[in-house]
A and B are shown apart, each in its own frame.
Chain A
Amino acid sequence: MTETQAAAEAVSTTRPTLLEARDLHVEFASRGRRARAVDGVNLAIGAGEIVALVGESGCGKTTLARTLLGLERPTSGEVRYGGNVLDYRSKALKAYRRQVQLVLQDPMGSLNPRQTVYEAVAEGPRIHGLPDEREVVTTALSRAGLRPPDRFFLRYPHELSGGQRQRVVIAGALALDPKVLIADEPVASLDASVRGEILALLLRLRADLGLSALVVTHDLGLAWNIADRVAVMYLGRIVESGPVEQVLTAPRHPYTQALMSVLPESPERVVLTGEPPDPTRIPGGCRFHARCQVLASGKAAEAGVDGKCRSELLQILPAVPEAQAACHYAALSQPGA
């Protein structure tokens, strides 16, 4: 069952928006301060589109994903699904969660060790009272690449390999016949050789079922492998987004450039010093300016934008499919962008 051959299908350019974040803000109290985990995000995921949300830990990508799932409530702004604002009343939310499903990382942690594969996959359909449970479970396992499905019904998680466990988690999400999968680091805990198979499965699900996906990851190679579009997040905001080919081969935001430069085999490294800064103290001006290599090297000053970098806030990027970057320096080379 090599899914690797599930070939890439052409990326169509116009896709109706299915799931959308509009001017989304999510704040938490953190040791007496306000942490602006998501600090103004516009993001749209089209039907049948795979979007990679990339960033370091602490950048707010997981909070954004949880808010899109309705697991967190935005402080301001809204989540829209199929054009309607997300309704947080429990009945509406339950219906929403059939459409938008979470795939967790670390399948060992997200599967109950005392539940059989059948029970694990059947849990969602039972909660939602779906008929023909056995049929639903069989189809879901088969779509997740666990074939023949009935051979897996009575197995326990510890009897499965890491890749098979991740497939069970995906089958659990597929059982509800969702339209969107939100996958948080879907392959981070998997072995190298299995990783490609799981990614290929996500591509095949998109080709066969028209599933959309938001893949949250810190791995740019993963974005290159499966995503149509990529959004790079830094300290609560998307700082660059666009088609994968454009953003990852010609990144315009210095932060994306730095992330790309530390990939193995990259010719010239820009290793940013320090850890990602603290969402309770977001710097003024451009939020990246304290670590920005373009500003530090004096190139921003040469171009006369260093003052702006330090003091002028950047506009929140709109949810458009075209390549865009929130950077005073990059804006010079492409006016109007």
Chain B
Amino acid sequence: MSLLELDDVSVIYRIASGEVPAVRGVSLSLDSGAALGVAGESGSGKSTLAMALLRLLPRDARVGGRILLDGEDVLTMKWGRMRAVRWAEASIVFQGAQHGLNPVRRVGDQIAEPLLVHNLAKPDAARKRVAELLEQVGLPAWRARSYPHELSGGQRQRVMIAMALACSPRLIIADEPTTALDVMVQAQVLTLIKELVAEHGISLIMISHDLSVLADVCDQLAVMYAGRVVEHGPSHEVFHDARHPYSRALAAAFPTVGDPVSRLAPKGLGGDPPDPMQLPTGCSFHPRCPVALDECATMDVELWAAGAGRTAACVHVQEAS
């Protein structure tokens, strides 16, 4: 059975000037021990979706559909149960490690906090566990006594990961965990995340705008555009042989060094992501699409089969099948 199952999930923000549909009917599933990458640009709804998984959205957001974590619907959970699920079953590593930590508390105390709050350990045992966790993320145990400002960006991101691991969750949601980190530090953190997934059987949902990073860490990839999944499949296939023109553009945005095709030829996409309050008709991507047909402006697209274990929401895929 899958650990996480999203069934037609939608999120609408209600603001003064109306309703903003940020996520529009996303269905995905994640097996135990698997890693799923969610790709998209700002405004695609990928972070909103991540927050919705643990009901961390502000009150003006309305979430629809079903989110089953181990068979239990997150959206109908009682508040107490929700609190127990957070950290213990699923935890989030946020982007921007500099803001996620309390600057006036030692990092050891911050890592221990979820353990103590959930009564999973007495203070003594928690201290031991903190040392273990720090070691797991590649930091010496004495770092527990450090304050966040004494750590570098990469070390702070490691502390965030240690925090997320504290209660031995089965699922970790990592939202742009390496954005703003240097290449070498990014490689260190990605290697760590890969090891954790492989060695501890933790499931992972990783969110990023960088397809190459996701393809490197995750088995499956879902590409989001304007609140919908527009392509889904095994990550290497999606990255190297995308079926949706938007995924192709995202993949080409980060060139392979050494590839003569991209030398002195940066690839981009004209136009800008759409305003969610004024979505284009038909396929939301058609105004920016390099291969759009006339009918794309009016026809509804859905995720059509696009090869073994793959789907894509593009009329060209439907025609091919």
Contact = CB atoms under 8 A, between A and B. Distances in A.
Contacts, number: 135
B265 interface: yes
Interface string A29-70: 000000000000000000000000000110000000000000
A9 B263 CA distance: 11
Contacts of A221: 254-257
Nearest to A228: B264
Interface in A240-274: 244-245, 248-249, 258-260, 262-265, 269, 271-273
B108 interface: no
A57 B182 contact: yes
A115 interface: no
Interface stretch (B60-68, B114-122, B129-137, B186-194): B186-194
Contacts of A9: 264
A315 interface: no
A194 to B, nearest CB: 6
Interface in B271-314: 272-273, 288
B268 A194 contact: yes
Interface residues of A, number: 50
Interface residues of B, number: 44
B213 A192 contact: no
B270 interface: yes
Contacts of B263: 8, 224-225, 244-245
A193 B246 CA distance: 9
Given A191-B41, A265-B212, A225 B265 contact: yes
A214 B264 CA distance: 15
A264 B213 contact: yes
Given A193-B246, A265-B215, 8 more contacts: A4-B265, A196-B269, A197-B270, A226-B266, A244-B263, A249-B257, A265-B212, A275-B155
25 contacts: A1-B270, A4-B265, A56-B182, A163-B272, A191-B209, A191-B273, A193-B273, A193-B288, A194-B268, A195-B266, A196-B268, A199-B266, A218-B183, A221-B254, A221-B256, A224-B258, A224-B263, A225-B255, A225-B263, A263-B183, A264-B215, A265-B256, A269-B187, A271-B184, A275-B152
